[in-house]
Amino acid sequence: MIINRNEPRQGLAETLASLLGGDLPVAIQAYDGSHAGPSDASVTLVVRSPDAVRRVLSSPGELGMARAYVAGDIELDGDIYVALATLGQRLVDGFGRPQSWGTLARLVRGTGGLRRAPEPPPEETRLHGRRHSRSRDAAAIAHHYDVPGDFYRVVLGPTMTYSCAVWEDPSVGLDAAQEAKYDLICRKLGLVPGMRLLDVGCGWGGMAMHAARNYGVRAVGVTLSREQADLARRRVADAGLTDCVEIRLADYREVDDGPYDAISSIGMFEHVGEDQLGTYFSRMYALLAPQGRLLNHGISRPAGVGPIKPNSFTARYVFPDGELEEIGTVVSAIQHAGLEVRHLESLREHYALTLRAWVRNLEENYPEGVRLGGAGRARVWRLYLASSALGFERGELEIHQTLAVRADAGTSGMPWRPDW
């Protein structure tokens, strides 16, 4: 390429704007003092240092962009949803084109050189060992959940419930919607006093406590996160439920004290993995008493949508080894394990509303979130929650509650017309 050195030198902001395409709906502000885009934009992309471009050049596309954002080399000032909806894919595509790399490299060379990109932010993880082995699954869960519980309280609110709520309407509020979700699951499971309930992936104990308090069951919750288990036990004790709720630090494959009358699995299924579906549902079958019910509540992907990419933001920063299955695959796996699927419900719009509530909690208490979890983790969560909300709204993500029963010899014990 021939460069005319008599032409006025274009700043980084103007160059980025040209790379991202015409009619840019956001403003750009760069460390070299340059500006581009509309003066009244609701979102400003701030490029704070040459390290932002170095990160993108070292890993073009989504991963490089994620590293720059989590590290604070790039900032999104303004409405995060507008930023992601109008700018997100443009950034990935614009920086991912090989023809853009030379332009970006020349800009960095002029403002500090093309030295090696910084190390990835500490919030990034790469797991080792056999995928979905017990030790690797424990490491994946620890990455996401073994942080101070108070950080999650900032995001999730007082219910400490990290799964899709069920909304009567948007006015009821997050806490009421989460309680409604627990109650819906209890009714689907047909819980009555004296039953034994196993809650797989129990989080901070919300489902187990709700079922024990309101339905008189004896509940066992299992989690792979030590932080979750410790806080859940404290919450159980504070609620006066230690005589009917037990929290265990254990893998679902280690539970061997069935039979249980009912099993709930809420927001844990995404960690199981396609290769382990048979093992997972066979274990649920073995732990259930005859006519016992399983409620599997998990995120899924629409037909035709590929799996989570290993170098994606989600895989490296949010859910390492996380896998989403198409709901037809899930139903087939449940029935191959010997369980009978009786009811399926999509809550896609409900999760979008839940995620927006979590983003609002975080943004309204952002300094406290940074203090408790660190600036990088707060950035990860802001980006992850907001992008997920848009994904559910667009139909790019789905979530289903699937109810199954152990109907030995065809005897299900299910009501003729369920009242839930």
**What ranges do the domains of the chain cover?**
12-109, 134-410
Instruction: Look at residue 111 in the predicted model and tell me its pLDDT.
Output: 52
What is the amino acid identity at position 302?
P
Distance CA 365, CA 224 (A): 28
* Widest Cα–Cα separation across the chain: 86
> Each residue of 318-347: pLDDT tens digit?
988 889 999 999 999 999 999 999 999 999
Q: 94, 62 in Cβ contact below 8 A?
A: no
The answer to whether 279 and 310 have CB atoms below 8 angstroms apart is no
In this prediction, residues 209-222 reach a mean pLDDT of 98
Architecture of domain 12-109: 2-Layer Sandwich (3.30)
**pLDDT confidence of 420, banded at 50, 70, 90?**
confident
Cβ-in-10-Å burial (0-12, 13-18, 19+) of 38 comes to exposed
Does the pLDDT value for residue 62 go beyond 70? yes
The pLDDT assigned to 95 comes to 65
**pTM listed for this prediction:** 0.91
Average pLDDT over the chain, rounded to an integer? 90
Per cent of the chain over pLDDT 90 is 67
**Residue 268 identity (one-letter amino acid):** M
Kindly indicate the confidence band of residue 244, based on its pLDDT and cuts at 50, 70 and 90. very high
SS3 of the chain: CCCCCCCCCCCHHHHHHHHHCCCCCCEEEECCCCEECCCCCCEEEEECCHHHHHHHHHCCCHHHHHHHHHHCCEEEEECHHHHHHHHHHHHHHHHHCHHHHHHHHHHHHCCCCCCCCCCCCCCCCCCCCCCCCHHHHHHHHHHHHCCCHHHHHHHHCCCCCCCCCCCCCHHHCHHHHHHHHHHHHHHHHCCCCCCEEEEECCCCCHHHHHHHHHHCCEEEEEECCHHHHHHHHHHHHHCCCCCCEEEEECCHHHCCCCCEEEEEEECCHHHCCHHHHHHHHHHHHHHEEEEEEEEEEEEECCCCCCCCCCCCHHHHHHCCCCCCECHHHHHHHHHHCCCEEEEEEECHHHHHHHHHHHHHHHHHCHHHHHHHHCHHHHHHHHHHHHHHHHHHHCCCCEEEEEEEECCHHHCCCCCCCCCC
Mean pLDDT of 180-189: 98
List beta partners, residue 266: 297
pLDDT above 70 covers a percentage of the chain that reads 92
Per-residue confidence band for 4, with pLDDT thresholds at 50, 70 and 90: very low
- 134-410 CATH fold: Rossmann fold (3.40.50)
pLDDT digits (tens, 9 = 90+) for 19-51: 777 677 889 999 989 999 888 888 999 999 888
pLDDT, one tens digit per residue, over 105-144 is 666 665 555 567 789 999 998 888 888 888 888 888 887 7
CA–CA separation, 294 vs 198, rounded Å?
9
pLDDT at 359 over 90: yes
Q: What integer is the mean pLDDT of 175-184?
A: 98
The pLDDT score that the predictor gives to residue 3 is 39
